[in-house]
Amino acid sequence: MKELVDFFIEIGKLKRMPRRGWVINRIKNPESIADHIFRTSVMVWILGEKKGLNREKLLKIILIHDLCEVYAGDITPYDRILPKNKKKLAELMRTWPRFSKSQKEKTEQEKYKKEWKALLKLTKNLAPKLKKEIKNLWLDYRKGLSKEGRFARQADKMENLLQALEYWKKHKKPPLMPWWWWAREYFDDPVLLEFMECLDKKFLSSKKRKYLTSFKNNSKKTQNKGQKNAN
């Protein structure tokens, strides 16, 4: 029982760890990692039923998916390029830097190794059966080994999008356009796409939605034209 007490004390630190992405965007009193886990858990419990998925497994995956951050920290793709100057940092986040495929893969591999090492440290004193279950659930989330693992990963990002929209509505940051574009590139699950459309209608005026769609379409045309000219 002692090892469980120690484990619960350690994961309790997540209640006091702010989500780093919001800190970078200078959001006042940002949510904690535990806050994020809570709402994502409720989301997969309800939305998972619409998919006919194993909701117990979904809940377990979400409950443990960020536990490694107790030791690994909340790693973002931008950590290695963040300037110390506050003005430069604000400008960087407004432009939302894009990375090449190779850069993304390298960052993801580094994050995976650091988080896996942290998870092993966090669970090292747990009973073998529980330790194995936590590790397998985490690997399912990271690698999308099951339908539940793949849905959990997208739902995790959907909660992130919802939180971004709430902050944008209240603080006018983080910048909306990069989030809006990213969401349309990332999500492909039908249930979550329907959910995202509801978010658009909830947070954005019809004029704003039309502008974002038009801007994206024009940008794509310009990009395609540039590629043709290059060829």
Dump pLDDT digits (tens) for 129-149.
999 999 999 999 999 999 999
Question: What value does the mean pLDDT take over residues 91-120?
Answer: 83
In terms of C-beta density within 10 A (0-12 exposed, 13-18 middle, 19 or more buried), how is residue 148 classed?
A: buried
User: Which phi and psi angles does 176 have, rounded to 5°?
Assistant: -75, -45
Whether residue 218 has pLDDT greater than 70: no
Cα(92)–Cα(99) distance, integer angstroms: 13
pTM: 0.84
pLDDT band at 159 (very low <50, low <70, confident <90, very high): very high
In CATH, the number for domain 2-230 is 1.10.3210.10
Q: Which two tokens stand for residue 96?
A: 């939302």
Question: What value does the mean pLDDT take over residues 66-74?
Answer: 95
The pLDDT of residue 223: 43
Bigger pLDDT: 91 vs 102: 102
92, 175 Cβ separation under 8 angstroms: no
Q: Minimal CA–CA distance to 11: which of 86, 63, 85, 60?
A: 63
The pLDDT of residue 224: 45
Q: How far is CA 148 from CA 50, 75, 162, 184, in A?
A: 12, 23, 20, 21
The pLDDT of residue 130: 98
Strand, helix or coil for residue 193: helix
Bigger pLDDT: 227 vs 5: 5
Domain ranges in the chain?
2-230
Q: Minimal CA–CA distance to 203: which of 160, 172, 169?
A: 169
The pLDDT of residue 217: 55
Average pLDDT for the chain: 87
Cα(133)–Cα(130) distance, integer angstroms: 5
